[in-house]
Amino acid sequence: MAASGTRDELTEFYRELALLTRSDLPLPESIAAIASGCRSRHFRSVLDRIAEEVGRGIPLSTALGPHERYFPAFHQVLIRNGERASALPEALHEVAEVARRGRALGLDFREIMAYPLATTWFAVTVLLLMMRLYLPGFGQDIQALLEAPLPPFSALLFGLAEQVNRYWPAVLTAYLVLLVGVAWLFSELRDARRLLQRLLGVLPGMRGVVSCLDLARVCGVSAVLLRRGTPLPEVFAISAGMAQDPGLALRLDSLRQQCEAGRSLRESADTAGLPASLALSLRHIREADLPDELEAMREHYTQRAEATARRVGIVWQIGAILAMGLVAGAVILAMFMPMIELYRRMSAN
């Protein structure tokens, strides 16, 4: 997938092109005009190539085909259906709305993890600096004053600080590699986004959020495709390709196969193994009303995901604060235990 800025430009591209085509302006010139204002050089060159191909009479949906990095397959299907129905501006507007929703859902993941990771990074940084600059000398001084073995917990802390200093280049390298890795994970690169979503899927409390977001995305796109007259098997095929949960993708593909075999949607939904609320909608809603019902289901799953994400985020924030407090308390306790022992000896004498 394209980077963050390019994905924002993609949404704006669809919106501007919808406005220009609604005004009956020539499509090639409209695309070229939008391209001239793009910040991303590569995206601008892609749009210039598309404008040239459209100028030679190639349909817009066909010209977008070789550039799936920026224009996913379901975008192309929506635009193709709009071209067939002589409703390209409306189709472009719908694609822009779908892209905007996808962008908003994608940001939720980083917002949930940002605070706990920032808190943990701050705690680790402070602890490493203390071990590098302060704790080794403090441990040696307190050992000389105590003239006896240090308490086990204090000995563990000061020993760890000595090891950090002894292997400081390796520790610093590991710290920087981890920092760069986290920054990469939160980037907009396609592989990073996929890995982040997989990680979130196995973290405590996040499986429900990921599942609801997946269902919201599938329902929203399916509703738009159905409104554009896309046949049900093609809708389920595209939805299966979008689903991030392999189980959901298999169920949607099963629906596609059953619809292609001539079974009714009600019969197919009974055996596909879909979530109960979605299967109930597919069984009992008339096909003509299905787009509106799927749109309502998209809103339902989005709200569930947001509510669950807020609860999980609060729990993670509290956990990060408690963990940082425990680490700080443990370090302070380990530092003061020898001083307490020294005070007791002085008082006893």
Q: Say if residue 4's pLDDT is above 50.
A: no
Lowest mean pLDDT among 112-116, 252-256, 303-307: 112-116
First to last CA, the chain: 73
Residues in the chain: 349
Q: Say if residue 349's pLDDT is above 70.
A: no
Q: Say if residue 140's pLDDT is above 90.
A: no
Query: pLDDT tens-digit profile of 61-74?
Result: 899 988 887 887 77
pLDDT at 107: 52
Q: How far is CA 255 from the centre of its chain?
A: 27
Token pair for 90: 């409306």
Neighbours of 95 (CB within 10 A): 27
Query: pLDDT tens-digit profile of 280-298?
Result: 777 777 777 888 888 888 8
Q: Are 28 and 49 a contacting pair, CB within 8 Å?
A: no
Q: Say if residue 331's pLDDT is above 80.
A: yes
Query: pLDDT tens-digit profile of 76-87?
Result: 877 887 787 677
Delimit the domains of the chain by residue range. Answer: 4-103, 105-349
Token pair for 8: 């924002």
* Residue 123 vs residues 111, 133, 138, 159, 282: alpha-carbon distances, Å: 20, 15, 20, 19, 50
In degrees rounded to 5, what are phi and psi of residue 340? Answer: -65, -45
pLDDT confidence of 103, banded at 50, 70, 90?
A: low
CATH code reported for the domain at 4-103? 1.20.81.30
271 versus 139: the higher-pLDDT residue is 139
The string of DSSP codes covering 153-221 is HHHHHHHHHHHHHHTHHHHHHHHHHHHHHHHHHTSS-HHHHHHHHHHHHHSTTTHHHHHHHHHHHHHHH
